[in-house]
Structure 1
Amino acid sequence: MSSRFLPFLCLSSFFLSVAGQCHSGWVLVHRNSGEWCIQIFFGDTTGYGAVDRCAGQGAVLTGIENTEEMHVIINQMKQITMKNALPPDAGFWIGAQRRCNCFDNRNPNECTRENIYAWADGLTKGYWGFTRWAYKEPKGYYQRTNVEDCVYVRYNNRKMDGELADAKCEERNPAVRGYVCGRAPLALDQI
């Protein structure tokens, strides 16, 4: 190899190693599509309000793509619930909304528990998160009226794991005490 390529290789290795840093307070997770930063915020809001609040952070209301993300979210939920004296099963909005063709649940072959919702952020991939429903959730799957259209994550002490539940996007839900935002890691010029 020519020695003139050596500085480029060293420089590119440096950039690869410093990429993947998050803004202060955000936690880095790894997805199949690349790195992602997550932070949970405490605050009473609707599902729609959570979308706006994340946008105010330069982020999106995030989905949950894998086990690592769920564990990061669970750890942050535990910290927030203890700090703010919340019930241990307090919920936090995540970026999922009911699919349009699943509102009336007349499509039982198309609308299963795993795909009645879709990730709304356009960045979360797969259905892993939608296999984590709480008992008798999503409610909208089991009932034909009063359909719920947004999703929140909560901690289940008995299972020692996170689980999903659904609620109406436009209503403040007393079980939901915050929201989970996600954003890309810092660009190299921001480090």
Structure 2
Amino acid sequence: MHIHIMYLLFVILIPKMLSLQMIVTYGKPTNFTDATSFSESSWESCVEECYLQNTCVLAYSPTSPLNCQLYPVNRIFSVQKLYSTDLVAFKVTNSTATCPTGDNPPTFGNLTNYGSISTDLVDYTYSVSYGSDDTWSLSYNLTGRVCADGWSMFVRPTTNWCLQVFGSPSVSYTQADAIHNCTNIGTVLSGLETLDERDFVAAGALTLLGAGYPEFAAVWVSGMRKPECYSDGWENLAECAGTNMEQFTYTDTYMANYAGYTWDPNTPDRNSTGVWQNCIQMWIRIESVSPDFPYDTNPNGNSDDATCNVADSDDFSLRGFACGKLPEIPADA
């Protein structure tokens, strides 16, 4: 049986004067990048807590034992429909004073439902749609936000994203240096959601480093191998095999895909130099300036795993990094 219950806990006013409500049904999150455990004595309290937290869009728990999980905006992307056991509560809008009815809440058939959240830092609208694979998909849009001067905007499934490449042909960086430098300007070491992002970072690094960049130059991008994927027995874990991107954790938590990571042949190779290579770099190479051409003919911008704490060695030189951040509200808005 389906649950057709709406918990109308409170009514709050947001832009466009829409009220947010919690709609409960059976389901389980299947694609997300963040969740917060919350200690509650009942499912009703779990739902209420999501409603009260401005950035929460979904509450989830098995029916027994209770394990309240709260999912923030722009971090939960799909929910599998179930017919028993696990419960989910979607935070969506309702412009009427009545409780919607029909099969398959919160979309009530194959309709689309919506939500909107505003904070001091973020303005989001989001939609909840239902697909033929019995899955609800959540998509998000940042409204009225732009990338600052010097940054370029890219459209991701989860959000718009601002990118900029930093570095110097005369300075070397460890991955920790790259993360620290990005953090200092309020950003994160960026990942590569799409080929467009990859090409932008690769071209930007070439421009930044100029014709004098060192042999086998590279720049850092987001990605650090999980400990279980290099400790004893990692060969037996499917997620640790080949180019499976689940073997890494990311400072950039706004990626839904990893299409921008295009690997050199036979990489990632983990420890081909006898030292574990657990972080991800992007090779910088082009025919007109590459010191090693024509011997190194792999594409500019390909990924490889590298030693996290080595910035400059006989084998390669890490000369930059890509930072990313959410778009910002314009100063004159």
Runs of 4+ in 1 over 3 A off after TM superposition: 142-145, 155-161, 188-191
User: 1 or 2, which has the higher strand percentage?
Assistant: 2
- Report if aligned partners of 1:81, 1:88 keep a CA contact under 8 Å in 2: no
Q: 2-side partners of 1:21 and 1:184: how far apart?
A: 9
Match of 1:167 in 2: 306
Q: CA deviation at 1:171?
A: 2.2
Once the two structures are superposed, residues 106-149 of structure 1 have per-residue CA deviations (whole angstroms, 9 ceiling, x without a partner) of: 3253312222323332222223234x111232120x65962111
Once the two structures are superposed, residues 43-100 of structure 1 have per-residue CA deviations (whole angstroms, 9 ceiling, x without a partner) of: 42210111110001110001000011112112201201217x2147521111101022
User: 1 or 2, which has the higher helix percentage?
Assistant: 1
- Report if aligned partners of 1:92, 1:154 keep a CA contact under 8 Å in 2: yes
Q: CA deviation at 1:23?
A: 1.5
Q: CA deviation at 1:21?
A: 2.0
Question: Do the aligned partners of residues 144 and 89 (structure 1) sit closer, same or farther apart at CA in structure 2, a change above 3 Å counting?
Answer: closer
- Report if aligned partners of 1:19, 1:187 keep a CA contact under 8 Å in 2: yes
Question: Do the aligned partners of residues 49 and 144 (structure 1) sit closer, same or farther apart at CA in structure 2, a change above 3 Å counting?
Answer: closer
Match of 1:124 in 2: 255
Match of 2:186 in 1: 58
Ranges in structure 2 where 5+ consecutive residues have no aligned partner: 1-15, 17-140, 287-296
Match of 1:133 in 2: 263
Match of 1:177 in 2: 319
Counterpart among 201, 210, 214 of residue 73 in structure 1: 201
Counterpart among 277, 280, 284 of residue 151 in structure 1: 280
Q: CA deviation at 1:189?
A: 4.6
Question: Do the aligned partners of residues 55 and 154 (structure 1) sit closer, same or farther apart at CA in structure 2, a change above 3 Å counting?
Answer: same
The code of the aligned residue for 1:62 comes to S
Q: CA deviation at 1:30?
A: 1.2
Question: Do the aligned partners of residues 45 and 114 (structure 1) sit closer, same or farther apart at CA in structure 2, a change above 3 Å counting?
Answer: same
Q: Tell me which of the two structures has the higher relative contact order, counting C-alpha pairs closer than 8 angstroms and 6 or more residues apart.
A: 1
Match of 1:109 in 2: 238
- Report if aligned partners of 2:196, 2:260 keep a CA contact under 8 Å in 1: no
Q: 2-side partners of 1:68 and 1:38: how far apart?
A: 11
Q: 2-side partners of 1:99 and 1:179: how far apart?
A: 21
The secondary structure found in structure 2 opposite 1:81 is helix
The code of the aligned residue for 2:162 comes to C
Counterpart among 166, 190, 195 of residue 41 in structure 1: 166
Q: Is 42-51 or 154-163 further displaced after alignment?
A: 154-163
- Report if aligned partners of 1:156, 1:163 keep a CA contact under 8 Å in 2: no
How much identity, in percent, do the aligned residues show? Answer: 24
The secondary structure found in structure 1 opposite 2:146 is coil
Equivalenced residues, count: 174
Q: 2-side partners of 1:44 and 1:145: how far apart?
A: 22
Counterpart among 209, 212, 219 of residue 92 in structure 1: 219
With structure 2 as the length reference, what TM-score do the two structures score?
Answer: 0.47
Q: Is 119-128 or 42-51 further displaced after alignment?
A: 119-128
* RMSD, aligned CA: 2.7
- Report if aligned partners of 2:194, 2:258 keep a CA contact under 8 Å in 1: no
The code of the aligned residue for 1:114 comes to T
Q: 2-side partners of 1:159 and 1:49: how far apart?
A: 27
Q: 1-side partners of 2:161 and 2:213: how far apart?
A: 27
- Report if aligned partners of 1:167, 1:173 keep a CA contact under 8 Å in 2: no
